[in-house]
A and B are shown apart, each in its own frame.
Chain A
């Protein structure tokens, strides 16, 4: 066994898993607070990445100005979607709300095709290009720096949810909406905030992933593949999103390297199937008991 190779592969997988965790966080924040499974999360990622392309490529802004602008743009989009399309659906059946998010995804794909055409795109280089070595282990620079940026946001989020008033309101609403409402928490505002924060995490992940793998109107499909991460970790668990994101990223990469690229997806879906059998609510998800 070539342990150096295994170490390098594992490092690449863990770093990629960090980005999966960031996307999964976008899913989970929205679901945890609002109980909406947002199938448009991939397209929100895509939209933010196109905004980055417009700011840094078309308008030739510094990428370090374009990056926050694109991420803020994506989060504003999330807030607008919640206010104009999801909020009117409050009280409707969950499947109707899911269909609305699928519709939003289609609209966003059409919009970017209209504005930026269907051509595949590459984002302007903004991450350092020098190879990164951790000891003797090589790590691709885009993945390494993408992981660092994503991790920084994850830490900010965890601190915010733990210690800020907004974070407490969000957690309170997630645990019991009626109780939160009776305690004077503006639940509707919390819903909106969850969409803004969830979209912000997804938008940052969108730019970082597109910087590595390129961008096209079909980019949003990655959001659906991260659904595996969310289900394995537990739909309503932030810890689950982080752990499962890193694990699935590692597993996918190791399976691809040792078994071949065609086994990446089967390996992750095998894990998904096992988890669904053993813990249908995910590794860290809430096991809701419905008493009649």
Chain B
């Protein structure tokens, strides 16, 4: 009797093993196709490491997630990267190495400087579509950068969204005025001229422009200048944290009721974590839903589940993580469209596929369907810090620039 039960158990175990083996083997069989490579020059160290670590986590987690879904049209995805320390020469070297060894279909560039420097080589190779950490306006010039795109609005478009919001706050024809505060870098200066032109179109007066060193130590002289013009809004660009905190604290100490706003890299939760109650009321333009927002959607839920799975201890994931994930999402969509059209996976065809993206549902990463325009996605929303809750809350609808 006992031997009989044991024998049946063995047979069942054998059958179970076979089923298990087939279950494990099935996706692998589906992924026998040649892998598609996502390449990346990633700033895991250096001045941009605070974001690079999270960009890398977003790209890594997306790659794991898409492979768990069977890859792209059955092709497994490999993510190949090198640390660049946010130095252009190292980013270029990493690109050459990864291009030579892995033939990436898409590539993550860590800076505007790198993406500009590599453009001619990228154009002559014609194999790879590139996006990355940069939202630089210049990269949406399709003549010079036909194979590079922006994973959201460019900085000028971000200013456009901010200024539309400010214009919408004008009551009874009393249009608010604005001051621009930006760092003395290519990054900082990027949207200023276009921002001034857009402000003029909307009837918003730019009452002051302040330029600071990127790691400015003391901004009290600049605050004194702002006290004299008493702007309704100050828009920051080209910073991550400092000196935004000092401007806000000192201007409030002077009794000014100015409101403060910033662009993508100045609108992470880092501002709330580091400034605490002083961050209350700060507003940022963000093309993606925050990790801890109340918004939902299948892809946003998948992102949260994968983030939890890959590092249960990490908790909140910064905007850099979502930016990395969204880059890889766009790459996947572009590759899929190219393969579905039966075309060769080269830069021309992928750029064409990107341009064909219209009313694309991002599954909750962006709250409305998005359309690619001039190699960017000119959409965003204004979010305001609720310091008591420790998070950003939306204060505008999604704004899609035409």
Contacts and interface: CB of A to CB of B under 8 A. Distances in A.
Interface in B265-297: 270, 274-275
A217 B243 CA distance: 16
B169 to A, nearest CB: 28
Given A118-B45, A209-B217, A214 B241 contact: yes
B215 A113 contact: no
B228 interface: yes
B222 A213 contact: no
Nearest to B224: A8
B212 interface: yes
A141 B274 CA distance: 19
A131 B254 CA distance: 7
A223 to B, nearest CB: 12
A16 B217 contact: yes
Tell me the interface secondary structure of chain A in the complex.
Answer: helix
Given A8-B224, A214-B245, A257-B224, A222 B215 contact: yes
A225 to B, nearest CB: 9
Contacts of A130: 253
A118 B241 CA distance: 13
Interface residues of B, number: 37
A257 B221 CA distance: 6
B218 A212 contact: yes
Interface string A1-12: 000010011001
Contacts of B217: 16, 209, 212-213, 222
A9 B47 contact: no
Nearest to A219: B215
Contacts of B240: 120
A140 interface: yes
A113 B212 CA distance: 25
Contacts of B222: 256-257, 261
A122 B246 CA distance: 10
Nearest to A209: B217
A112 B245 CA distance: 22
Contacts of B254: 131, 138
A122 B215 CA distance: 13
A140 B45 contact: no
B235 to A, nearest CB: 16
A121 B276 CA distance: 12
A140 B241 contact: no
A129 B246 CA distance: 11
Given A12-B220, A262-B184, A257 B241 contact: no
B250 A118 contact: no
Nearest to A212: B218
Contacts of B245: 122, 214
B221 A213 contact: no
Interface string A112-139: 0100011111100000011100000011
Given A5-B228, A257-B225, A117 B50 contact: yes
Nearest to B228: A5
A13 interface: yes
A158 to B, nearest CB: 24
A209 B253 CA distance: 19
Given A122-B274, A138-B254, A261-B222, A214 B210 contact: no
A265 interface: yes
A14 B274 CA distance: 28
B240 to A, nearest CB: 6
Given A118-B45, A138-B224, A16 B212 contact: no
A260 interface: yes
A184 B372 CA distance: 79
Interface string B44-63: 01110110110000000000
Nearest to B43: A118
B241 A120 contact: yes
A289 B3 CA distance: 104
B242 interface: yes
A13 B215 contact: no
A148 B213 CA distance: 25
A153 B209 CA distance: 37
B125 interface: no
A24 B35 CA distance: 57
B316 to A, nearest CB: 13
A256 B225 CA distance: 11
Contact of A213 (B45, B242, B275): B242
Nearest to B218: A16
A218 B211 contact: no
Contacts of B220: 12, 16, 139-140, 143
A120 B218 contact: no
B284 to A, nearest CB: 16
A263 to B, nearest CB: 9
Q: Which 6 residue pairs of A and B lie closest in terms of their CB atoms, listed nearest first?
A: A214-B242, A118-B49, A261-B211, A140-B220, A213-B217, A120-B241
30 contacts: A9-B221, A9-B224, A12-B221, A16-B218, A113-B45, A117-B50, A118-B49, A120-B50, A122-B241, A129-B249, A131-B253, A138-B254, A139-B220, A140-B223, A140-B250, A141-B253, A212-B217, A213-B216, A214-B241, A214-B243, A216-B50, A219-B215, A221-B215, A253-B218, A253-B221, A256-B221, A261-B210, A261-B216, A261-B222, A262-B184
